[in-house]
Amino acid sequence: MSVTDTHRTIDAVWRIESAKLIAGLTRLVRDVGIAEDLAQEALIVALEKWPEQGVPDNPGAWLMATAKHRAIDHLRRNQLLERKHDELGRDLEARQEKAAADIEAAVEDDIGDDLLRLVFISCHPILSTEARAALTLRLLGGLTTDEIARAFLVAEPTIAQRIVRAKKTLSDAHVPFEIPRGAERASRLSSVLQVIYLIFNEGYSATAGEDWMRPQLCEDALRLGRILAGLVPQEPEVHGLVALMEIQASRSKARVRPSGEPILLLDQDRSHWDQLLIHRGLAALERAETLSSTRGTYTLQAAIAACHARARTADETDWPRIAVLYAALVQLMPSPVVELNRAIAVAMAFGPAAGLEIVDTLTSEPSLKTYHFLPSVRADFLTKLGRFEEACPEFERAASLTRNARERDMLLERARACAANVIFPKVP
């Protein structure tokens, strides 16, 4: 195996094993920052030795064993353990021996609980949403700082600083490395799901930049969702989120033209939808609905996505059911954005005039003032009603609000089409 091939293998192994490695070390050293440093040191040793000695049969165990020895050295150097050495005497030695024994045992321990602890600490509410996303991708996704920066179109030093501050915040606050219980567990789990879906959405519909999609972020979020579903198999909303992401991801190859231009849902070639992902998504949705008779927000959104996935053509879409599901979602999660999506479903089910009536109640909503989808949706309804002169400035306003170059081009093209209809109206 060439050096290049070995480095590729190491990169792949790191993506798979790093979260387990950091999780196990965090339980032992009780500091996620130190744990990541120890894991990185093990990676550096692998980069030095594997090209010469070959990739070990069990690379994950090799990395853990190497990190274990580093952790033992760290504990022995630790100033807290060295302090008052004379007074502590045998107690100090016993603590060191126990710490070493714990690390030895960690090689064989079931890593599931440690991974779950790492998920909860990475998405701790004490951190900002942006910090949670960056730290989660770093610790659980195995992404480098540069990869995270490029994914979110943020300067690398900004992401690096965000991650450093997040780890320091967790350390300074002495956030325990544990799985929350009771009422706290539900709120903390909600934070975890929010972060994973935020990562997925940034990949699925990029908020800024030249690309309509960033597939790698979708894949990272899906992987995190699947891991979480395996760690907490009795949580319906986790399966609901996985179902939603699987079904949405199934459309990825049909959402972009070869030139990079976006293709809207109803215009997509459904033969390009990934049937395996749809199958997995529908199975996850069934699992979520089996676990609870009450649908949560992610399960409801997955049920909406499933309506599209089950329709062989756009015309077969069950829009009245989607409108009902959105009405239930509005009750559960009151939001102008959700109401805007309900308006689209109502328009598709009962005509653009019915959808426009809902949209017009949202035009004065402060939270939607800079939300480009509002004028975009309104313009679409006006176009379908033949009110091109009103639709044109709405498309232009939407284009001025979006930060995605591909979407801006599409909206401006639709504005030009409306203007052409005003100047050269079509003959009935």
> pTM of the full predicted structure?
0.77
Enumerate the β-bridge partners of residue 208: 403
HEC secondary structure over 225-283: HHHHHHHCCCCHHHHHHHHHHHHHHCCHHHCECCCCCECCHHHCCHHHCCHHHHHHHHH
- Which sequence spans correspond to the domains of the chain? 1-109, 370-428
Quickly count: other Cβ atoms within 10 Å of residue 93's Cβ. Answer: 12
Tell me the C-alpha distance between 320 and 284, whole Å.
23
Tell me the C-alpha distance between 142 and 150, whole Å.
15
Tell me the C-alpha distance between 22 and 28, whole Å.
10
Long-range CB contacts for residues 322-331, cutoff 8 Å, separation at least 24: 322/348, 322/349, 323/348, 323/349, 323/350, 325/300, 328/295, 328/300, 329/297, 329/300, 329/301, 329/304
Amino acid at 85: H
What is the chain's alpha carbon radius of gyration, rounded to the nearest angstrom? 25
Tell me the C-alpha distance between 56 and 46, whole Å.
10
Amino acid at 245: M
Q: At residue 329, what are phi and psi to the nearest 5 degrees? A: -65, -35
Tell me the C-alpha distance between 373 and 357, whole Å.
16
Amino acid at 315: D
pLDDT tens for the chain, 428 residues long, are 676 777 788 888 887 788 888 888 888 888 888 888 888 888 888 888 888 888 888 888 888 888 888 887 776 666 554 554 444 444 545 544 554 455 444 444 455 788 889 989 999 999 998 999 899 888 888 888 888 887 777 889 999 999 999 999 999 999 888 888 888 888 889 999 999 988 888 888 755 555 545 778 888 889 889 989 998 999 999 999 999 999 999 999 998 888 778 888 989 999 999 999 999 999 999 999 999 999 999 999 999 999 999 999 999 999 999 999 999 999 999 999 999 999 999 999 999 999 999 999 999 999 899 999 999 999 999 999 999 999 999 999 999 999 888 889 999 999 999 998 876 555 44
Q: How far is CA 144 from CA 40, 192, 218, 301, 409, in A?
A: 11, 20, 16, 31, 32
Residue 51 makes CB contacts below 8 A (sequence gap 6+) with: 3, 6, 7
Q: How far is CA 19 from CA 15, 50, 62, in A?
A: 8, 20, 15
Amino acid at 364: S
Measured at the CA of 288, the angle between CA 283 and CA 289, to 5 degrees, comes to 95
Find where tokens 């309900």 sit: 342
Q: Is 124 helix (H, G, I), strand (E, B) or coil?
A: coil
Q: Is 123 helix (H, G, I), strand (E, B) or coil?
A: coil
Enumerate the β-bridge partners of residue 374: none
Question: Is there a contact between 141 and 224 (Cβ–Cβ < 8 Å)?
Answer: yes
State the angle between helix axes of 373-384 and 405-423 in degrees (0 to 180), rounded to the nearest 10. 30
Q: Beta strands 208-209 and 403-404: pairing type?
A: parallel
First to last CA, the chain: 69
